[in-house]
Amino acid sequence: MSEQLEPTAPSVSFVTHADIRVQGDRQREQDRADYFQDIEDRLQRSAELAEMRRQSAKREVNLVEELDAALVTLEAGATDFEKSYARPNQPLIDAKIEVERLRGELATAEDVLAQIEAKGDSVTRLAQSVMLAEGALNGLLRTAEEKAMRKLVTARFGWEAPMQKVSRETLRELGLDISVQSLRQFAIQQHREKSGDVTVLQQRMDVVGRKLAELREYLAHSEEETSVR
């Protein structure tokens, strides 16, 4: 008969680890229970505080004081009615007048703001000034040339003949006169495109400013010579 062997007993180490796991599970369960208990306690305290605030907010109504307040309000309304009934509502009229005045000032301020915004920044304003000066110079030059041509036509025909009656050949011939040709030295090229280059704008400003001053001096001198003759 073969010998029957007994099963091997678990080691001490195995038993110890299993016991630790059991203790850990129990601790987690206890922690979970404590957590929910804490939440319940907090809710209970919140409810108690809310009830205390509600109770403290309740006050006993003093009927006599409330009646007095209602009577004062009613008396004020009656007094106001006696003073204002069938009469112009002056506070309302004054308020409307003030509103209209403020609206007018606002409209004026908005117009000023729009004008300032339309002018742009300093570079934009400089470019606009330069373009206007260049246009003015060229326009004045055309006027001066037309004036000189009229003098030449009058001198040629002995009377101020209409320019449209003078032949193109004659106009081209008169255009070669020194009084007309001398004005061409003041002409400059007008730039139609906008430029934001400050250096370029300053150069153009210097040129047109110098040409304007020179043209003024030339025309003033010509008029003095004409008057002397």
Higher pLDDT, 28 or 217: 217
| Alpha carbon distance 169, 176 (integer Å) | 11
pLDDT (tens digit, 9 = 90+) per residue, 4-59? 444 444 444 444 555 556 576 778 788 778 878 888 888 888 888 877 777 766 66
Q: Answer whether 179's CB lies under 8 Å from 148's CB.
A: yes
The candidate with the shortest Cα–Cα distance to 163, out of 153, 175, 172, is: 153
Average pLDDT, the chain: 81
Task: Provide the pLDDT for residue 7.
Answer: 45
pTM confidence score: 0.49
Task: Provide the pLDDT for residue 99.
Answer: 96
Instruction: Please state, in angstroms and as integers, the Cα–Cα distance from residue 83 to each residue in 76, 77, 80, 88, following that order.
Output: 11, 10, 5, 10
Task: Provide the pLDDT for residue 203.
Answer: 92
| Alpha carbon distance 128, 133 (integer Å) | 9
Burial class (CB within 10 angstroms; exposed 0-12, middle 13-18, buried 19+) of 195: middle
